Structure 1
């Protein structure tokens, strides 16, 4: 049998021809994949996204991978601004819960990657160093999920003076929202109105001590404050002894998650937890895995939600509802939904609404101006930077919630129920607040 030098595949196409054609075809496919976008480098928009996905604050970033998938899918065919379609590159980075790393990541995204917009989410340890880097470099930055006072005053702004910030903006809850929620929530159960507070010596704790505690005192609550403690403290015996002595039936704290777990186990061992009628926690106890880790001590902890799947708003970027977002995450991950899902998605909602409103998203000054005048509705509800309370800030809701035993037949141990809605009456109340010790 004779062998030909090149075996023909098809009418007139040799193996070498096919390989060459395949290379051209690959190039054509690659070109076709980009055909929805205008030619040239100016058709690419780079968006930085920085969050804590590992380390002590990992609970805040646990769902960000899923949110990024949802966002990238929505943007796969490009993003239209003023008649031009842009290819979107989202450059996401994990701070590992380290403020120094957050700052360095921001500088790399600014200087090496040359992002057009920076998005930062969850806690001062992440947001403030990122915002400071952006302010110094003249890059528009939008953030959410920390008390706005810790963002604004914690970065050097002074009460009664003009905002020192031109490039950085923050939306979401503040002291006033916590105040309204706590007064509303704490009125649901009869107590002696004595509040034992455990506020750390960090940006959150110091802002809450300075601004929230006096407001609560003005409503007749007696604040028992043993003073600031350092993050990472392991022995809380002195604080617990004071709370027991003062018979504090309400407990309130803003710690990082490991610190609360250590405190609450010691409070149970030393008899204080049995005196508590309302255990109102913030910054920790936000996510189901952290509460589950406490075992029976986690049931009936009162919390507050900056987003809940019951929020009646849709994402303008993706078009999905809160229930769809939560159900999609549970189906994809096998894990219970968390309030961070809607918050992280709302950051993309607001960011891309600002890019659209800028008319020229490659112009950083135009993007910053668009954020400053942004009025829109995101997954968490209204975002309005024209309404104060200070420049560069748009306040947002925080609603009263509670962790309770899940109903029979649930595949999860806990249910997260809405117990009050003073800061956003559009969110339906789903359950009555139960005392911590029923």
Structure 2
């Protein structure tokens, strides 16, 4: 799959500089003009947008950059919006799930019932997104989410293959198993291996979706999958899995474990000699964030990953006007920490969410906003987002591309996060060749 950096025909585009917000949204057959909020905005014209993500707990890496993104979004929206001749101020209510699915659902219900939000944005992993989406669907509140395989979102919440979507108010954009398969096979074909893949897949929404959908596709592509079976999150002893991977001589390893679980597994794998035989270690979740990789010490460099956003992407935010490179550089300057891909995903949520409110023409009408999302084509700092083209209703495709953590040759940080393949978005520059994990 390839995305163009140019806006698709009929896309909703908008840009908000310091004092003026102008938008042209060609969605649902309407074009809407936006302007500065006037000082005489009437009561009842406040748009409330909820934002829910894990900023503490075992999934905290995903929300590490949210404070910076929220600051940028609030600054961009401080002059408000004018939609359909009405001036609106915009209030963003952000909440931390603490990586707890039950808390995620409760936060969503509180935003809906106590705060009266008009739209909820949710980011990062099924543990956050699915309970939030379920709460929104039950209450008829529009919700947009990103950063998890769409299959785990769609089928994990009860949708059935070949049947009409059961969802009217909840929507998701980003990568799916198809992009994972393209990314992984493109990455793994860069190096000669025995094509035996040891997989560590937990008994959760991600693990079950990967086992049920991705594994058969990898087998069809010529890879032998060695699967010791589902394990429970927060397992502490992985000797059985490691013994199987060693016995089967798995030169490729792929994990969808929670970050603490992968760290435990990989240290045990090193102690038991498995890591010395691994040529490619493709790590989801834990492989996304520099702090997690650095915490692995000498076991961190040359771990591979897959990115849903990168600072070299050739896209800009319609909301803030910043390019991908500017967002990453701004984050580093403001925080003193290395950029993380989650900042691009979180800003993309605001790009898409604001575009939906604009396109609706009636942002206080929840049914109208939900209908606008279903017909939305727009741009984001992560690339085009098109809910009209599937792969299933309520879902828009997004890219995923191969990456690797390598020792930096200079600069402020010990590791560089480089793009090694771009099968799902050829607009993305390839930065380096793939290095064998075992050197």
TM-score when scaled to structure 1? 0.91
CA contact (8 A) 1:50 1:119 kept: yes
Q: Is structure 2 residue 375 aligned with structure 1 residue 376? A: no
The aligned residue for residue 424 of structure 1 is: 425
CA contact (8 A) 2:37 2:82 kept: no
CA contact (8 A) 1:38 1:84 kept: no
The aligned residue for residue 168 of structure 2 is: 166
Q: Is structure 2 residue 302 aligned with structure 1 residue 310? A: no
Match runs of 1:27-42 below 5 Å: 36-42=38-44
In the aligned structure 2, how far is the partner of 1:428 from the partner of 1:253?
26
The aligned residue for residue 412 of structure 2 is: 411
In the aligned structure 2, how far is the partner of 1:209 from the partner of 1:336?
33
In the aligned structure 2, how far is the partner of 1:103 from the partner of 1:224?
35
The aligned residue for residue 20 of structure 1 is: none
Shift of 1:407: 1.3
The aligned residue for residue 434 of structure 2 is: 433
In the aligned structure 1, how far is the partner of 2:385 from the partner of 2:182?
19
The aligned residue for residue 3 of structure 2 is: none
Shift of 1:86: 1.0
Cα displacement string for residues 147-173 of structure 1 (whole angstroms, at most 9, x for unaligned residues)? 000000000001111100000000000
TM-score when scaled to structure 2? 0.91
C-alpha spacing 1:421/1:223, structure 2 compared with 1 (3 Å): same
User: What SS does structure 2 have at the residue aligned with 1:41?
Assistant: coil
Shift of 1:296: 1.0
Structure 1: gaps (5+ residues):
1-33
Of residues 127, 130, 133 in structure 1, which corresponds to 2:132? 130
Cα displacement string for residues 44-77 of structure 1 (whole angstroms, at most 9, x for unaligned residues)? 0000000000001000000000000000000111
Shift of 1:204: 0.2
The aligned residue for residue 58 of structure 2 is: 56
Shift of 1:36: 2.0
Cα displacement string for residues 163-192 of structure 1 (whole angstroms, at most 9, x for unaligned residues)? 000000000000000000011000000000
How many positions carry a matched residue from both structures? 404
In the aligned structure 1, how far is the partner of 2:40 from the partner of 2:191?
60
The aligned residue for residue 343 of structure 2 is: 341
Match runs of 1:293-372 below 5 Å: 293-372=295-374
Q: Is structure 2 residue 190 aligned with structure 1 residue 177? A: no
Structure 2: gaps (5+ residues):
1-35
In the aligned structure 2, how far is the partner of 1:365 from the partner of 1:53?
30
Cα displacement string for residues 8-65 of structure 1 (whole angstroms, at most 9, x for unaligned residues)? xxxxxxxxxxxxxxxxxxxxxxxxxx97254332210000000000001000000000
User: What SS does structure 2 have at the residue aligned with 1:280?
Assistant: strand
In the aligned structure 2, how far is the partner of 1:309 from the partner of 1:336?
11
Shift of 1:81: 1.7
Match runs of 1:247-262 below 5 Å: 247-262=249-264
Cα displacement string for residues 83-135 of structure 1 (whole angstroms, at most 9, x for unaligned residues)? 33210000000000000000000000000000000100000000000000000
User: What SS does structure 2 have at the residue aligned with 1:325?
Assistant: helix
The aligned residue for residue 30 of structure 1 is: none
CA contact (8 A) 1:236 1:263 kept: yes
In the aligned structure 1, how far is the partner of 2:88 from the partner of 2:296?
47
Q: Is structure 2 residue 235 aligned with structure 1 residue 237? A: no
Shift of 1:396: 0.5
Greater gyration radius: 1
C-alpha spacing 1:86/1:369, structure 2 compared with 1 (3 Å): same
In the aligned structure 2, how far is the partner of 1:216 from the partner of 1:329?
36
CA contact (8 A) 2:37 2:79 kept: no
